[in-house]
Chain A
Amino acid sequence: MVDPGGIPEAEGAVSPDGYQGDVPPEAAGRLSSPAWSSGLSVNDFAACAQMGIRPVALVQGFCVMGWSWYGMGSPYLYRPAYGGAMGGMGGFRGGIPGTVGGGFGAPFSGGYQAGSYGGQAAGGSYGRSRWGSTITSYSCPHYYTGMDHRNFGENFEQRWVSDAWQHGFSTAFSRMMEEAAAAGAHGVIAVVDTVSHLIDASIREFHVYGTAVVVEGAPRPPAIWSTYLAGQRLAKLIEAGFMPASVVASMASVRVWAVCVTQALMAGGYQTGGFSALSGEITQVSDAQMQARRLVRDHVKSSLGGDTLHGAALGVSWSDVGEGDYQVDAVLRGTRVRRVREADPLPAPTLTLRLS
């Protein structure tokens, strides 16, 4: 979570000439030079100038992360339950958590119990907090259970994935904010962030940039504020009685380990083992789609501290990983804004006919 608490305090931020942080020396030199750069369009630049907001520097932060679903402390590496899952997705079949060392009879109620693995844990304890936790679990409605029949399924919050995303984003973001502090900024506007694969899929680049600005004639604020907005939209936000506090962004990743019914439905209802054809809702996938979005919203909400999230942008991707298994990733971005004054509502709108 990008927490405005992590933004360098203005008191703590050193003046550009005395800056001792880890902003590269070349960058510190550039930031302290009298010439400035800005990522603002001319329109936004003009609107900001009108408000007394002056750009001081185009500030940026980067963080390049190694990116692997099966690395980074993921449970796949350690759990014998996944068939030593380095063998790929095939390793999951018949290896749903709970089928190893635990009986088939006990449905999950509160997620993993470390003891239910019968001491077969190779990687130490299966702590819920370390990698993630079970959100919902599903059991097989059939009486017959063969060796390759998926008796249990679950939707699992892959927290090691969202933690890595958060680490990459927050690091890039705070590096940008350090540069802003070095440039003596009051705020950073027109923030743009990109998360993309660099070179290949195993490397992910987090890039955050924006225009550091000062409010002319104003004292430095207690904390540097930041926003995705700029120009006229920023003006309207302030006019509406809000002040941006910080850019916020978070990610959630939900993995579907399909139970037999989900697996069958995802393949069009064809079911081996003599069961009749199925159709209708794939509850486990519907749930995962909802859960990823709710989780990411809850992540962001937990960082708002009573403020409002403005201009939320929710991006979701999902992929079918075979055998009915499924993954949903959600990213939510927006600007945390705070009501700083009561603003009169605009006059009620009137109809106009534009001759443009």
Chain B
Amino acid sequence: MTSARDGDATAGNLRDTLLSLAASGYAGRSVARKGSTSDLSIDEALVLHSVGWEPVELVCGAAAFSIPAGIWTWSQGEVVAASAAYAGAMARAAAAIQAECRAAGGHGVVGVRVDVAVERHLVNAVLVGSAVAPGSGARPPAMPFLSDLSGRDFTLLRLGGWDPVGLAFGASFVNAPRRSASAALRQSSQNVELTNYTEALYAARESAMERMQAMASQLTGQGVVGVQVSEGAVPFARHALRFAAWGTVVKSSERPDELGPVSVVVPLDDAKLAFDAASLRGG
């Protein structure tokens, strides 16, 4: 997706623009929304602006849930209390970031970063993103949307006739089934599949994905885009595996598809972004 203005209208004139601004001492203009904050990149802000949306406020939601003692001992099936703590922390964090968005007058939050830390007795879920609103000043909805998509993806989705409605997530912690003594002995000196761990991963995957999709339906969405998964070992329990998935729930809107025909371009510049402010900041 590109939004371009030709060279004559920008770079050639930017020198003159800057000179005229400097001549006026960079005098400020009045703005509709004073003191707004956002973590969007300038590209994202510009592309949102091109479809009439503006950043409002940097918002966050955080929640910590306790994982009861004793549940990491090796038993069978799902580690239910850990999965519940994860779900609880994410749900509370989502509610908190939505409340912040509502308070700031936003219609939704884009670019939500999902950061979940799982410790032996604690799940800490943190969501941070930029609340956005249409410049038209329309009344914000009672339930703002959440999306982990970038400003660019949000714009593309909307132009394609889809709306983000929320963040769906699901997680599962599963005990690997015990091996029989003979299987353990047989496998100890061979490079063979450890079927108990494979099975545990599949079990965790299925519950987590099912929970995420159930949540998408609950949010009245049609599907989940940009699903991210995180799976692997639980550092403090050798026999347990985890699987978590999250993504943005979308549903089609009544608006027509505004994307139009696709044009093909062969870029002659670097595919990589030339400048990244964060990379300059160093440690």
Contacts and interface: CB of A to CB of B under 8 A. Distances in A.
B124 A306 contact: no
Nearest to B263: A352
A192, A218, A309, A351 — most chain B CB neighbours (10 Å): A351
B26 A221 contact: yes
A238 B37 contact: no
A282 interface: yes
A83 to B, nearest CB: 25
B181 interface: no
B88 A232 contact: no
A129 B20 CA distance: 45
B118 interface: no
B137 interface: no
Nearest to A261: B66
B283 A194 contact: yes
A274 interface: no
Interface in A293-351: 293-294, 297, 300-301, 304-314, 316, 318, 320, 332, 334, 338-342, 345-351
B35 A307 contact: yes
Interface in B73-90: 81, 85, 88-89
Nearest to A218: B22
B12 to A, nearest CB: 9
B35, B39, B49, B277 — most chain A CB neighbours (10 Å): B277
B66 A269 contact: yes
Contacts of B200: none
Contact of A308 (B2, B35, B271): B35
A217 B22 CA distance: 9
Contacts of B120: 268
Contacts of B70: 268
Instruction: Give chain A's interface residue range (CB within 8 Å of chain B).
Output: 35 or more
Interface residues of B, number: 86
B46 A236 contact: yes
A156 interface: no
Contact of A347 (B5, B22, B24): B5
Interface in B40-57: 40-43, 45-47, 49-52
Interface in A152-171: none
Contact of A270 (B69, B85, B89): B69
Contact of A231 (B3, B19, B60, B275): B275
Given A53-B18, A239-B10, A268-B69, A355 B266 contact: yes
B215 interface: no
A286 B155 CA distance: 32
Which of B23, B35, B128 has the most C-beta atoms of chain A within 10 angstroms of its own C-beta? B35
A237 B44 CA distance: 11
Given A218-B19, A346-B4, A293 B62 contact: yes
A351 B263 contact: yes
Interface in A8-28: none
Nearest to B5: A346
Interface in B247-272: 258-267, 271
A96 B31 CA distance: 47
B68 interface: yes
A194 B259 contact: no
A298 to B, nearest CB: 10
Closest 6 CB pairs of A and B: A268-B69, A218-B22, A289-B62, A285-B64, A265-B66, A349-B3
